[in-house]
Amino acid sequence: MNEESVSVGQDYKCIDDCAVLSIENLSGDVYCMRLAGRHIAHQCSPGQFVNLKVTQQYIPFLRKPFSVCRRDKEAGWFEILWKIVGTGTAAMARAKPGDTFNVIGPLGRGYREPQNMTTAILVGGGLGIAPLLFLCEELRRNGVHVEVFFGARSASDLAMVDVFQEMDVTVTITTEDGSAGTRGVITEALIERLNTGFDIERVHLFSCGPTRFLQSMIHITETFGIEGQIAIETMMACGFGICVGCPVRAREPKPGEKQYKLTCIEGPVFGAREVVLDG
Amino acid sequence: MVDLSTKLGRLSLKNPVLVASGTFGYGRESEPLVDLNALGALITKSVSLEPRDGNPPPRIFELPAGMLNSIGLANVGVEAFVREKLPFLRTLDTTVVVNIAGRTADEYLAVVRRLEEEQGIDGYELNFSCPNVKKGGLEFSQDPRLTASVTQAVRDATERPLIIKLTPNVTRVSDVAQATAESGADAVSLINTLLGFAVDVKTRRPRIHTGTAGYSGLAIKPVALAKVLEVVQHVDIPVIGIGGIMGVNDALEFLITGACAIQVGTANFIDPCTGQKIVQGLIDYCAANRIGAVSELIGSLKMWS
């Protein structure tokens, strides 16, 4: 294993050739890959990501960012989850155990665990479930009560539901076509849950998913007056702050403060009131 | 032992492999991943007089073997650069060139004058060629007379080596290079990004918020090499070749064409160790071909008779 890591302050990223340990087609076009990487497995926290070089050729040209979905410190592996959307993700799905991918990570700022929190509500839209799985494992280990809400278009977009169910957490599922769970959208199920009551000081909402979904999450945290964090996805080149290509608009920056935050180093997890999502 | 050293006017470098402005931050971002001291020089992200927020997103778009970007020179401004970035750069055992961007001649001069008060800067590269921040729709280096006057004004304000970064978005880049040569520049670096555009057919919106953007990456290498060839054939000034350099073979193409040094740009986003690997690749190439000094390679192009 070729690990070139030097830590600078909290900057624990390394560049590493990671061997594929296993690859699994979870459902439809959704895949999960387990990669060997002791450094990343040890240093990553929930919500952080890795930037993976898909091919030695030049199409796709850039690395592709993936949230760490699970890790095992002892065994020295981490997992990523993806759906085939283009040539790069299709090429990844053809990988075999023993193949290697060059990976930079762990990158970005992950979820913060608030003090006093006793109930964590995790809300995932589509593949937004990936970092929430890692988060769920950590929160359960710390004795936090966790409720999971998971929305997808249809049953074929669902992944890892069984893993959550094994973790002693309540799992609510909705699909738009009704092929799994309740027919509908997850925001409705979440609102229904919040209407049953909660301790505003001790509940915290963690979410990850597409932009529209996260806009709803921001809205819900405001409506119910609860604290929350969102993990966003943007176009990204380097993943560690040098290309400056992944800005997200800061919400109400004070005079002298920056108008944009960089998703790769200041995110991808932001406070629900920290940024404005356009589009 | 292969002699990798190269000379660009009054700027002497331990090797000809530089990292391009805007593709390497201010050095520290890549430090955990890269041996910064292996580089011939580090060129900082553009520094302007005041901090700049940059352009609204989307700022980048991926293309086959390349990408579009329109960052808008987002940077911390010269005072924060001096306070927060320069102390780290001073600790490096490599040449540090500060890239400077401005909207007016006065802004370039003001930044240079401020930096003249500081130690640990080995030279300046003037960005006359960002396609995404324009004065009156024109890049500075699209106008040879404007290029000459600003180069001369900065030349009069510093003894430090001066590199002028040129745009390829002109009919004859050699005319602009000639203007810088006559105005006291030590070297020219080319090419900055090509002007590009892409459309999302679903939304019918430009892929980049500002519309047109800078096109970079492997795909632009042949254009870059042609522009470098034009300048080395017509102008007596050292050239730093930039454009689509992903590995040692690309770097060799530029050196053989006549560039005295090269800059690795977009490749840093994909592999920040690219520059370091090219340095090793040059050593290996020279050793394998019994070349004692990289200077023997520069301009060694054999034209068809």
Cα torsion angle, B300, B230, B100, B253, sign: negative
Question: What are the pLDDT tens digits along chain A (279 aa)?
Answer: 333 333 334 678 999 999 999 999 998 899 999 999 999 999 999 999 999 999 988 999 999 999 999 999 999 999 999 999 999 999 999 999 999 999 999 999 999 999 889 999 999 999 999 999 999 999 999 999 999 999 999 988 888 888 988 888 999 999 999 998 999 999 999 999 999 988 888 999 999 999 999 999 999 999 999 999 999 999 999 999 999 999 999 998 888 888 999 999 999 999 999 999 986
> How would you classify residue B252: left for phi > 0, otherwise alpha for psi between -120 and 50, otherwise beta?
alpha
Confidence of residue B230 (pLDDT cuts 50, 70, 90): very high
Which pLDDT score, from 0 to 100, does residue A257 have? 84
> What string of DSSP letters covers chain B?
--B--EEETTEEESSSEEE-TTSSTTSGGGTTTS-GGGSSEEEPSPB-SS-B--PPSP-EEEETTEEEE-----B--HHHIIIIIHHHHHT-SSEEEEEE--SSHHHHHHHHHHHHT-SS--EEEEE---TTS-BTTB-GGG-HHHHHHHHHHHHTT--S-EEEE--S-SS-HHHHHHHHHTTT-SEEEE--PEEE--EETTTTEESSTTSSEEEESGGGHHHHHHHHHHHHHH--S-EEEESS--SHHHHHHHHHHT-SEEEE-THHHH-TTHHHHHHHHHHHHHHHTT-SBGGGTTT------
- Give ipTM to 2 decimals: 0.93
Give the residue from chain B lying closest to A239, CA to CA.
B269
B193 vs chain A: nearest CA distance in angstroms?
Answer: 14
Smallest CA-to-CA distance from A67 within A244, A217, A214, A233 is with A233
B130 is catalytic: yes
What are the C-alpha distances in Å from B93 to residues A9, B19, B35, B122, B125?
21, 15, 10, 12, 19
Is the confidence at residue B59, as pLDDT, over 70? yes
Sheet with B60-63, strands from edge to edge, namely B60-63, B66-69, B213-216, B194-196
Please indicate whether, in this complex, the C-beta atoms of A15 and B273 are within 8 angstroms of each other: yes
User: In this predicted structure, what is the pLDDT of residue A255?
Assistant: 84
3-state secondary structure of A190: helix
Mean pLDDT over B168-175 rounds to 95
Q: Which of A12, A43, A55, A62 is the best substitution to test chain B (most B C-beta atoms within 10 A)? A: A62
- Cα–chain center distance at B300: 23
- Closest approach of chain A CAs to the CA of B108, in angstroms? 22
Going from the C-alpha of A73 to that of each of A8, A110, A232, B46, B273, the distances in angstroms are 21, 17, 26, 40, 27
Contacts of B30 in chain A (CB under 8 A): 240, 242
Nearest to B125 by CA among B186, B34, B37: B186
Interchain contact, B33 vs A260, CB within 8 Å: no
